[in-house]
Amino acid sequence: MIRACIFDLDGVVVYTDHFHFLAWKSLSDAHGWRFSESLNNRLRGVSRLDSLQIILDENGVILTAEEKTILANRKNDEYRELLGTIDESSLVPGAIPFITGLRTRGIRIGLGSSSKNADTVLSALGITGLFDAIVTGNDIEFSKPHPQIFQVAARRLDVTPSECVVFEDAESGIEAALAAGMVAVGFGDETALGNAHLVVGDYADVDVESLFARNSSNATNSPS
């Protein structure tokens, strides 16, 4: 039976996509690179350096590893500055009540975010205490779609992967959850998250009783 829920951060608990977009757009504009909302969507759930590589590939640009690191750090500095304006209006509607409700049921709550700034976001919003275990990009070697981040979260929550439900809004995150042997709930557009066991538009769409009735065989079978 399900004993834990692991949440991605961006787009699932907090909306920070706009801050990422502004920071990447600023960097791209400074170098004359094309950068659009659709390209930004491809960066969701992807590490900073991998995101930069996607932008470089899109623009046919080749840089050294050192140059990439400098630019990735420059983007992060601007992103962190933008985070100074984050407030409760950036919270995904219904996220906090939903997580609080899970906790009252004895469900353990984890965070699995590839962002290395996740702790900063949680602290700024005063919601760090909602999570029993927090795994960020600082804790892993491999980014999503590799399952490492969710595997680490399960260990820290003291549960098995088959006892976990993952809430994700990115295709790479859904792939990571499935690779970890967990129930995957897509949060957002079904056309982009069709491999998930369940796709919901918002937290009001989640049938908690049905979700928690799933067992390990549900997590490893093909999504329905």
SS3 letters across 105-132: CCCEEEEECCCCCHHHHHHHHCCHHHCC
202 tagged catalytic:
no
- State the catalytic residue, choosing from 10, 50, 77, 87: 10
CA distance 59 to 32: 9
SS3 letters across 139-196: HCCCCCCCCHHHHHHHHHHCCCHHHEEEEECCHHHHHHHHHCCCEEEEECCCCCCCCC
- State the catalytic residue, choosing from 8, 29, 87, 119: 8
CA distance 42 to 178: 19
From residue 73, alpha-carbon distances to 67, 68, 145, 209, 219 in Å are: 10, 8, 23, 44, 37
87 tagged catalytic:
no
CA distance 23 to 132: 30
Q: Catalytic amino acids?
A: 8, 10
